[in-house]
Amino acid sequence: MTRLTTNDIQHIAAQLADYDTELTKKTGYSLRGIACRAAGVQESEFEKMSADLLAGIVPLTFGRGIIGGFCDTVASIVAHIGCPALVTQFADVAGLAEAFEKKADIIMLADDDRFVAIHPQSRQLADNAAATGRGFATGLSLMGGGLEKKNVLVIGCGPVGSAATQALVKLGSDVSIYDINLSRSDDLANRIRQSLDAKINIVKKLEQALTDHQFIVDATPAADIIPAEYITPDTYISAPGVPLGLNQEARSKVFDRLLHDPLQIGVATMTVDAMKFLLPEG
C-alpha cells in the first residue's frame, strides 16, 4: 500500500475545477460523473441527496501518523462532488466522538493499512482501494469508448488491481493480469473464477503483454513500468498506482490517453459508494 506524501496532494484542492475539465475532455465525464458510474448510482440521484448529508473526516495519528494536508484534501474532494464535509478538530478517538456529536452520516478515516468510509447506522463500509480500482477501470472504459470484448491488461494484483480486474470482467472485457509475485496473480485469477465464474489470463512476461495490449491499468507502485516503446497512438492507460508508472518520455507519448491521480477518483468513488448506504434501498 503506497503512503502518500504532502507533496503528492498539496495542489489537489486548488485544481479540482481544472481536473474536472481534464476528465471531461478525456472521458466525457466529470469527477462526480465517473464516481457515480463506478458506484452504479444515477448522478441526478446522487446530486439530489448528497447536499443534505455530512461526511466527517477524522485524522488518525497512530502508525506512521498524520500526513499533512491529507484530511483537508479528502474533505475538498468530497465537497467538490457535492457532499458537505468537515475535518474533525480532534484526531483518533476524540475525533471519532466529535464526528458522531456533529451527526456525520459517514465517517472517513485512514491509517497505514486501510482508508475507509463507514456508515454507522447500517454497519456498512466503503473501502478506498476497492473504490479506486473500480473508479479507474470505469475511467478507462469511458476514455476508450467501452471495453466490452476488448483485451485489457491489469498490472498489479493488490487490492486496487484486484478491484479493477473485477470491474473490467463485469464490463465484459477480456482481462489479462500480471504481478511481479506470481502467487498474487494466481490468487486473483482463482478469486475471479470463484466469484464471477470468469476466466482471466495470467501473464508471466510483462514485455510481451505490453506489446499485445492497448488498454492497460497500472495498479503498481513501480515508477517506470510501462516503457515508452510499448506506447502506440492506440494505447490507453489508467494508472491508480502512485507514483505514476510512466517516465517523462512515456507520458508525452501517451499524451491525453492517460488517467492518473493520487487521490481524487478513489475518494470520489468511495464517497458515492458510501452514499449508496443511505439510499432508501441502500
In the complex, which residues of this chain contact ligand 2YG (CB under 6 A)? 1-4, 59-60, 66-67, 70-71, 110-112, 115, 128, 132, 240, 242, 262-263, 266
- Give every strand in the sheet of 215-218, ordered side by side: 201-202, 174-178, 151-155, 215-218, 236-239, 258-260
Nearer to ligand 2YG, 240 or 245 (CB): 240
Nearer to ligand 2YG, 46 or 115 (CB): 115
Helices 70-80 and 31-39: crossing angle in degrees, nearest 10, is: 80
Q: How far is the CB of 260 from ligand 2YG (least distance, A)?
A: 10
Nearer to ligand 2YG, 159 or 172 (CB): 159
Q: How far is the CB of 219 from ligand 2YG (least distance, A)?
A: 10
Q: How far is the CB of 198 from ligand 2YG (least distance, A)?
A: 26
User: What single string gives the DSSP state of each residue in 229-245?
Assistant: GG--TT-EEEE-SSS-S
Q: How far is the CB of 5 from ligand 2YG (least distance, A)?
A: 8
Shortest-Cβ-distance residue relative to ligand 2YG: 4
What CA–CA distance (Å, rounded) separates 67 from 255? 31
Omega of the bond prior to 243 within 30 degrees of 0, cis? yes
The three-state secondary structure class of 86 is strand
Nearer to ligand 2YG, 175 or 219 (CB): 219
Q: Is 123 exposed, middle or buried (0-12, 13-18, 19+ CB in 10 A)?
A: exposed
Q: How far is the CB of 43 from ligand 2YG (least distance, A)?
A: 22
Q: How far is the CB of 208 from ligand 2YG (least distance, A)?
A: 28
> 94-118 as b/e, with b when 16 or more CB fall inside 10 Å?
ebbebbeeeebbbbbbbeeeebbbb
Q: Which residues contact 57 (CB under 8 A, 6 or more apart)?
A: 71, 74, 75, 78, 85, 86, 87, 88, 107, 108, 109
